[in-house]
Amino acid sequence: MVKSISQFTDDTKDLVIGSENTPTPRSKSLHCKTDINSPTPVIANESRKSTSPGFQILAGLSALISFLILFRFLVPQIIEESRYSWYRGELRARHEASGNGLKNVSLNTLSEAYQMLTQYVGPSVVHIDVMREDSSDDELRKFLNSIPVEKWGLVSDQGSGVVIDRSGDVVTNLHVIAGANEITVVLSDGKRCPGLVVGVDSLTDLALLKIDADRLIPINWGDSDECRVGTPVWAIGSPFGLDRTVTFGILSGKNRLVRTSSRYQDFMQSDAAINPGNSGGPLVNSSGQLIGINTAIVGDTFRGVSFSIPSNIVREVYGRLKTSGRFVRGWLGLSLEELVSTDSNRNGAVVSSLVGADSPGAKAGILPGDIIRKIADEEIRNVGHLMRLAASMEIGSQTKLEIERSGKVLLVDIVVGKRPYDSD
């Protein structure tokens, strides 16, 4: 039989409240409330547990930690993949652009430019044959010299040179013609001319020869100071007697010093192949201008490093030799050391000592420890730069030095003296 709603309510009251005839349940875990509008009982403890503030904070922290872990490991990978993807795209774009550009470049045109440069400079380059005494065996040399046979006991050597002036001026290295009994200059057309030594400068290893020839084609001067590292260069000479050999490379460095060099040479470094016989030949730029005289290599044969005397030094020495046959240099009478500084913009030369009480530096009041910053208003790069600037000044002329002493900048007047090691 189905109970009515009123009967169901009365039975529920008896269950919850109890009566005299009905025992009350003692279980602490089941306290129920009855909603008269809903037949479904609600458990009070479970409702309080699910809505407690501590449980919500813990759940939020767990979610945050999970997010941070995902961010830590996933985001860098995403960024890295994006960067690689962008770089690959850039490489592909460059690849495609270069491919299209190469289709429009004519290697024949580049080859023709090289050929034109060789043809432009070639007539200015000369081959030099030298005959000198063989000093490899003194006893044999004495014996051969006692025999009255022309040229007996002489050995041949060779090098290169370059025509500087239409009048017959030829510049080469001093070591090419040093100790020569005979010098023969062979022109590009095959004509052979005797070479007369006009003057030499041992400190730069340069020599000026004079030949009697007409219709000469001199080389054009270039500015070695304007040449930058990475500039394409060509070396022309006669390595191993092979006339007017042309090699190509780039300017690898400037202001180099090698073991046997002097402060007055200030070598330029290139990777253009230079071998025995190239000495004295020109190093030229893409305009066919002289930017150096090829002089030295590392070792007995080319190893990827070659050295040349800058054209600006060559031009100054050439002018002095042409005028007087020698280069008498100016002198300050100072022993110098390189300035060591962590500041790359701080240049100069340090005075380590004075060369005698009567030297120009001592008379000017310069003291050991002074730092020379400028000479004649030109900033000093290093010791070699200062020596070359002083050497080019006229003997007896007065100039100003800017020096730094104990943190103070001073201007000092100094009279340029004559380098005591130069002969009159």
Q: What is the pLDDT of residue 33?
A: 47
22 vs 209, which has greater pLDDT?
209
Q: What is the pLDDT of residue 160?
A: 96
Q: What is the pLDDT of residue 151?
A: 52
3-state SS, residue 168: coil
Q: What is the pLDDT of residue 18?
A: 45
For residue 209, is pLDDT > 50? Answer: yes
- 279 among known catalytic residues: yes
pLDDT confidence of 159, banded at 50, 70, 90?
A: very high
Reading the block at residue 251, the tokens are 């300017």
Round the average pLDDT of the chain to a whole number and report it. Answer: 80
pLDDT confidence of 2, banded at 50, 70, 90?
A: very low
330-418 classified as CATH 3.20.20.60: no
Q: What is the pLDDT of residue 12?
A: 43
Query: Model confidence over 210-248: pLDDT tens digits?
Result: 999 988 999 999 999 999 999 999 999 988 888 888 999
- 205 among known catalytic residues: yes
Q: What is the pLDDT of residue 416?
A: 93
Contact in structure between 294 and 310 (CB atoms under 8 Å): no
Give me the architecture of the 122-210 domain, per CATH: Beta Barrel (2.40)
Q: Which is the catalytic residue, given 129, 201, 205, 266? A: 205
295 vs 82, which has greater pLDDT?
295
Q: What is the pLDDT of residue 138?
A: 52
Q: Give the lowest-confidence range in 174-178, 188-192, 207-211, 418-422.
A: 418-422
3-state SS, residue 266: coil
* Alpha carbon of residue 349 to chain centroid: 22
In the block, which residue shows the tokens 């590292």? 229
Q: Give the lowest-confidence range in 99-113, 261-275, 354-368.
A: 99-113
Q: Which is the catalytic residue, given 279, 306, 311, 359? A: 279
Q: What is the pLDDT of residue 388?
A: 87
Over residues 331-353, the mean pLDDT reads: 87
Q: What is the pLDDT of residue 5?
A: 42
Q: What is the pLDDT of residue 250?
A: 94
- How far is the C-alpha of 249 from the C-alpha of 270, rounded, in Å? 7
- 66 among known catalytic residues: no
3-state SS, residue 50: helix
Query: Model confidence over 280-330: pLDDT tens digits?
Result: 999 999 889 999 999 988 777 788 899 999 999 999 999 999 999 988 889
pLDDT confidence of 258, banded at 50, 70, 90?
A: confident
For residue 164, is pLDDT > 80? Answer: yes
For 287, the enclosing helix (H) or strand (E) is none
- How far is the C-alpha of 128 from the C-alpha of 279, rounded, in Å? 10
3-state SS, residue 195: coil
pTM of structure: 0.68
pLDDT confidence of 422, banded at 50, 70, 90?
A: low
Q: What is the pLDDT of residue 400?
A: 93
For 111, the enclosing helix (H) or strand (E) is helix 107-121
Angstrom distances, CA of residue 111 to CA of 105, 108, 115, 311, 361: 12, 5, 6, 26, 55
Give me the architecture of the 220-324 domain, per CATH: Beta Barrel (2.40)
Q: Which is the catalytic residue, given 124, 127, 160, 175? A: 175
Q: Give the lowest-confidence range in 78-82, 180-184, 413-417.
A: 78-82
70 vs 254, which has greater pLDDT?
254
Closest C-alpha among 251, 207, 195, 201 to residue 225: 251
The residues pairing with 154 across neighbouring beta strands, listed in sequence order, are 133
